[in-house]
Amino acid sequence: MDATPTARQPERRRFYPAVWRWHFYAGLFVLPFIVWLALTGAVYLYQKPIDRWVHRDLKVAGTSQGAPALPSAHIAAVTAATAGTAFRYTMPERGDGSVEIGTLEPDGRREVYYVDPSSARVLGHLPEKGTFSGIVRRLHSLDLLGDYASALIEIAAGWSILLVLTGVYLWWPRGQKSGITTVRGRPAQRLFWRDLHAVTGIWVGLVLLFLAMTGMPWSVIWGKQVNAWANGQDYGYPAGVRVQVPMSQQRLADTTAPTWSMEQVQLPVSAPPHDRHGPADKHTGHEAHGAGALGDLSPQLGAIGIDAAVQRFTALALAPGYSVSLPRGPTGVYTASVYPEELADQRVVHLDQYSGQVLLDMGYADYGALGRGLEWGINVHLGQEYGTFNRLLLILACVGIALLCISGAVMWWKRRPLGGTGVPPLPKERRTVTIVFALLCVGGFLFPLVGLSLLLVGVVDFVVNCGRRVPSRPLN
């Protein structure tokens, strides 16, 4: 993978040095990121059992022979313990699990309270996303870096795709048999690390390519554009699936934690009793809040209440562990959402807060081809779709990715010249360099942030390379 072609080598290898140079740059930039993402991603694959073990005093309430208390009693117990306002109610996923109630505190913080379903006793609370797996996920998504996290995710994912594609080109046999599927030499030799890098890369690279592509939806530009493009469309996530209902300006992400692809889904509106015979009011003062604002969550006169809403959702046979978002304002709705490991069980249901009528009932089968494809990719990325097999495969891939990065670093260290960086040399033909860079720019149009970073690196590389070719003139 690192031998420069000579004049005797065939014409088809003339692109090798330019591709090798960009492969080197891609590895240099994303190696720290993909090692970090592999390690944190491997931990997150087992988020539920780890959280259940780490937060057992909160997550596990124990089994009880008696009937569970009403949801309103659970919420009352929480509101008695805090000045915050409840906005989300989550059913236990397992029989011995606790109820989770999200609250908005007076200072703007979001907390999650854990309640024993039978006794309505508050077991404790944590900040929203404050569980062990929540912290790991924030580390994995680089969320702790603030507003720049999504941009870094997009750039790192794009360069990872470049790394894999250029690596496949460099690995391609071209007639040779050694170092393609077997590892030669001994650990003390650079040849061993070169072969280990190539053989590991061709297998792990395919998984890395998949993870990079399915990780793109969380990016700041490409992800948001695809999200907005897919939602409200028949080929993605239809605005009205089984019934045509008036839609508000509220988004599903305002009050619950949906999958990435459902964040932009609009909520229907409830028709207040005095509007029951007229058109529903689509816009009120409570509808125009930005994401994160909850608006008026106080019970509305004539509303069915949380107990009847949960009873209705349970009768609709939602998968265990579903969350219920409380209505926002007089036209808000009760929204139940669940995203279990089985894609077929994904579901979002909206109820009119006054009549209990189902306004929208959307499941995986109701998505268009693009929506189903996005959901499948995200579920597999998270290690959920095929259970233990999926998780074990991704664990092996994470180990392989770490090995790939280590072997690449060792190989570079052994081949770099003393006192130099070891950057592969540019081809002598400028036309070759231009063609390869033009092909990279095509990918840059698909992923804008990646394209900008490619352009920046290309310009810097050109300026530095030209500077080295121009001989310095002696001072007179």
* Structure confidence by residue, pLDDT tens digits, 98-155: 999 999 999 989 999 999 999 999 999 999 989 999 999 888 887 777 767 777 778 8
Q: How far is CA 121 from CA 80, 98, 172, in A?
A: 11, 10, 63
Nearest-5° Cα angle at 67, 62 to 70 = 100
Residue 463 pLDDT level (bands cut at 50, 70, 90):
confident
Contact 329, 295 (CB under 8 A): yes
User: In this predicted structure, what is the pLDDT of residue 75?
Assistant: 95
Average pLDDT, the chain: 79
The pair of three-digit structure tokens given for residue 224, joined into one six-digit string: 């948001």
473, pLDDT greater than 60: no
Q: How far is CA 40 from CA 50, 206, 394, in A?
A: 13, 19, 12
The Cα–Cα gap between 431 and 429 comes to 5
For residue 15, count other CB atoms closer than 10 A to its CB.
Answer: 18
pLDDT greater at residue 1 or residue 270: 270
User: In this predicted structure, what is the pLDDT of residue 132?
Assistant: 93
Kindly state the percentage of the chain with pLDDT values over 90.
Answer: 24
Torsional sign, CA 204, 205, 206, 207: positive
Lowest mean pLDDT among 15-29, 104-118, 139-153, 311-325: 139-153
State mean pLDDT over 210-227: 78
pTM of the predicted structure, to 2 decimals: 0.77
Domains and CATH numbers, the chain: 11-44+142-218+388-469 (no CATH), 56-130 (3.10.450), 239-366 (no CATH)
The Cα–Cα gap between 389 and 459 comes to 45
What phi and psi values does residue 115 have, to the nearest 5 degrees? Answer: -130, 135
Q: Which residue matches tokens 């650079």?
A: 190
User: In this predicted structure, what is the pLDDT of residue 13?
Assistant: 65
309, pLDDT greater than 90: yes
The pair of three-digit structure tokens given for residue 36, joined into one six-digit string: 């970090």
Nearest-5° Cα angle at 413, 408 to 417 = 130
Q: Are strands 323-325 and 122-127 parallel, antiparallel or unpaired?
A: unpaired
What phi and psi values does residue 271 have, to the nearest 5 degrees? Answer: -100, 110
Strands (E) in 181-285, as ranges, are 247-251, 266-268
Contact 98, 59 (CB under 8 A): yes
263, pLDDT greater than 50: yes
**Each residue of 44-61: b (16+ CB within 10 Å) or e?**
bbebeebbbeebeebbbb
Largest pairwise CA distance in the chain: 98
The Cα–Cα gap between 301 and 354 comes to 9
Closest residue by Cα to residue 69 from 118, 6, 31? 118
pLDDT greater at residue 224 or residue 466: 224
The pair of three-digit structure tokens given for residue 240, joined into one six-digit string: 């009205």
pLDDT greater at residue 406 or residue 260: 406
* Three-class secondary structure of residue 368 per DSSP: coil
Q: Are strands 266-268 and 247-251 parallel, antiparallel or unpaired?
A: antiparallel
What phi and psi values does residue 181 have, to the nearest 5 degrees? Answer: -125, -5
pLDDT greater at residue 43 or residue 451: 43
Q: Which amino acid is at 101?
A: I
Strand partners of residue 363: 347
State mean pLDDT over 266-279: 66
Length of the chain (residues):
476
294, pLDDT greater than 70: no
Lowest mean pLDDT among 107-121, 293-307, 335-349: 293-307
* Three-class secondary structure of residue 369 per DSSP: helix
pLDDT greater at residue 109 or residue 2: 109
The Cα–Cα gap between 476 and 473 comes to 9
258, pLDDT greater than 60: yes
User: In this predicted structure, what is the pLDDT of residue 312?
Assistant: 95
